[in-house]
Amino acid sequence: MSDRLDALLVRLDPPRWSALYVAFRVFVVAATIGMVALSYFPASLATAHRSYDLTTALDLAIPFVPWTWWIYFPHYVFGLVVTALCVRDVRLLARVVFAILLGQVASVSFYFVLPSTFPRPTSLDGADPVTAAAIRWFWGTDPANNTFPSTHVANACMAALGAWYSRQPVRWYSALVALGVFVTVHTTKQHYWIDAVAGAMLAWGMFHLALRMWPVSEQAPEPARFFDPPLTAE
């Protein structure tokens, strides 16, 4: 069954770097983020009435650095898009998406068992007007609760693991994106320290679980692609 699904994925994957290829890979990222949101926001509403304080001395010591929000969120999304574009094997990309969805199921379970809310800063002093407006918009959209584990860290790390598994040059960039998200969830005061650690651990576990449940066959012949031009006799 998995081999037939892989064959269908490869067959439907557009020619690399064509406009259709770029649109398809961007759509995969957008659809994945959308599916994560479909479970995240309802869980946030359902657990809004209770919260555990996970603050540590390290959380209190880390300063609020508003400009790092651009790394935390916009560059996180951009990094997912770049990884999706540069990981050539659509079968591997499907495993990354599968791992992210498995991770979201686990995350929602944690939200109900250990709901937490991070106390966001009361002032945006030091932020330039554009950054301040962007953060206010983000805070108005993204609930402050259900921080454990950090899905931004988990998803960035799973994308990096997929890129690393592909052994393509993009793996270095994807790893830097994951590291940047891991750091900036703290400097933007979005997460507790333990949230980021749990997100990285979740990524490792879910990515390897996805490969175990849906292994990539290295020896399966590559089928003809739907978008390839037909062969002509010479």
- Residue pLDDT, tens place only, 34-89: 999 999 999 999 999 999 999 999 999 999 999 999 999 999 999 999 999 999 99
Strand partners, 116: 52
Q: Is residue 186 part of a domain?
A: yes
Domain that holds residue 130: 2-213
* Locus of tokens 């690399």: 16
Scanning 116-231, the segments in alpha helix (DSSP H) are 129-141, 151-166, 170-187, 193-213
- CA–CA distance, 68 with 70 (Å, rounded to integer): 5
List, in order, residues 6 or more apart from 7 with CB less than 8 Å away.
220, 223
The answer to whether residue 171 is domain-embedded is yes
The pLDDT of residue 42: 96
Q: Is 233 part of any domain? A: no
Name the helix (H) or strand (E) containing 180.
Answer: helix 170-187
Question: Tell me, what's the pLDDT at 3?
Answer: 87
Tell me what the pLDDT averaged over the chain comes to.
92
Number of domains in the chain: 1
Q: What is the pTM of this model?
A: 0.91
Asked if pLDDT for residue 219 goes beyond 60, the answer is: no
Which pLDDT score, from 0 to 100, does residue 232 have?
42
Structure tokens at 16: 């690399």
> Residue 229: is its pLDDT beyond 70?
no
